[in-house]
Chains A and B, each alone.
Chain A
């Protein structure tokens, strides 16, 4: 696989998710302005923080005048699951120059990780594997900036709800289901799914993080027993 092919593969894998991300970005732009954040700062947030649900929370907390450290802590909790992605891709990115690691860490969102990970696992030895993640990360980044810009430009008008956000869970299903090839994988999915629903009421998406941890442990315990 060439550098160019790897990049294109990453972009292509991410494209369906933009269907769900774009309306989300537009709504973020609108919500940020309504919270009293100036247009320039609302736009800058999308590249400085670059994290969908954390930016919504940030806009709300700024609007409510929450204290600085509480806000930063809440944003950290919302994004805690990204540490799992970091651990998951770290072996593939080992031995890359520092500037690549910094760039790919910055781009490591739910969507970019989801789009790239099946391909990273399939081609861990490819010298251009990191270009797959870069392709997915860049495509999401560009789509997020553009949709935020549209939201900020639209101002008070919310786009009609066409249910396009459903593209995200659908794409996650399309990615995860083929990865489940044994009982350990199935148990990891069931464990994570059940706990995510049970703990959905916890603040700052901490339920998601706990659910993912439960899934990891269930999967690892069962795969060890099978081995």
Chain B
């Protein structure tokens, strides 16, 4: 019973975090500085998610690791061709290749 209560509580917490600004939209006039932050949410949040996955191995920075250099390959491919599937394909190809080499 406590487990289900806890689950529902955590579900509500998660939901209201995701609902917060959607619910507030139109109810208040956001400040200028706040509006200037918003265009950077995708870049900042998704980079924060991705970079530790490339650089950290077991919690410490590793320069010689397949994920980092496969990620660099993907960044280069994405910058040159702006194609999602090509980026993911080249990234994985580099990852598997480097795993054999390193």
Which residues of A line the B interface, CB within 8 A?
13, 16, 37-38, 41, 44-45, 48-51, 54, 58, 62, 68, 71-72, 75-76, 79-91, 93-95, 101-102, 104-106, 108, 110, 113-114, 117-118, 121, 163, 166-180, 184-185, 188-189, 191-197, 200-201, 208, 211-220, 223-224
Closest residue of chain A to B84, judged by CB?
A174
A94 lies within 8 A of B45 (CB): no
Interface string of B23-38 (1 = CB under 8 A from A): 1111000000110111
B45 lies within 8 A of A85 (CB): yes
Q: Within the assembled complex, what's the spacing in Å between the Cα atoms of A44 and B10?
A: 12
Cβ–Cβ < 8 Å partners of A45 in chain B:
7
Cβ–Cβ < 8 Å partners of A89 in chain B:
22
Given the contacts A105-B18, A176-B46, A188 and B40 also touching, CB distance less than 8 Å? yes
Q: Within the assembled complex, what's the spacing in Å between the Cα atoms of A215 and B49?
A: 12
Cβ–Cβ < 8 Å partners of A68 in chain B:
2, 5-6, 9
Q: Which residues in window 40-64 of B have CB below 8 A to A? A: 40-56, 59, 61
B43 lies within 8 A of A196 (CB): no
Cβ–Cβ < 8 Å partners of B67 in chain A:
166, 169
Given the contacts A72-B6, A101-B22, A196-B48, A82 and B43 also touching, CB distance less than 8 Å? no
Q: Within the assembled complex, what's the spacing in Å between the Cα atoms of A214 and B51?
A: 14
Question: Which listed residue, A13, A110, A188, A208, touches B43 by the CB 8 Å rule?
Answer: A188
Given the contacts A81-B45, A87-B38, A75 and B61 also touching, CB distance less than 8 Å? no
Q: Within the assembled complex, what's the spacing in Å between the Cα atoms of A180 and B42?
A: 10
Which residues of B line the A interface, CB within 8 A?
2-11, 13-15, 17-26, 33-34, 36-56, 59, 61, 67, 70-71, 74-75, 78-79, 82-85, 87-88, 91-92, 95-96, 99
Cβ–Cβ < 8 Å partners of A50 in chain B:
11, 14
Cβ–Cβ < 8 Å partners of B83 in chain A:
174
Closest residue of chain B to A194, judged by CB?
B51
Q: Within the assembled complex, what's the spacing in Å between the Cα atoms of A216 and B3?
A: 37
A105 lies within 8 A of B15 (CB): yes
Please, could you name 23 A-B residue pairs with CB atoms under 8 Å apart, sorted by A? A16-B88, A38-B3, A41-B3, A82-B17, A84-B45, A91-B38, A101-B22, A110-B49, A114-B42, A170-B87, A172-B47, A174-B74, A176-B42, A177-B78, A185-B40, A188-B43, A196-B51, A201-B59, A208-B49, A213-B44, A215-B45, A216-B44, A220-B33
**CB proximity of B37 to chain A, nearest CB, Å:** 4
Question: Which listed residue, B14, B36, B38, B54, touches A82 by the CB 8 Å rule?
Answer: B14
B25 lies within 8 A of A177 (CB): no
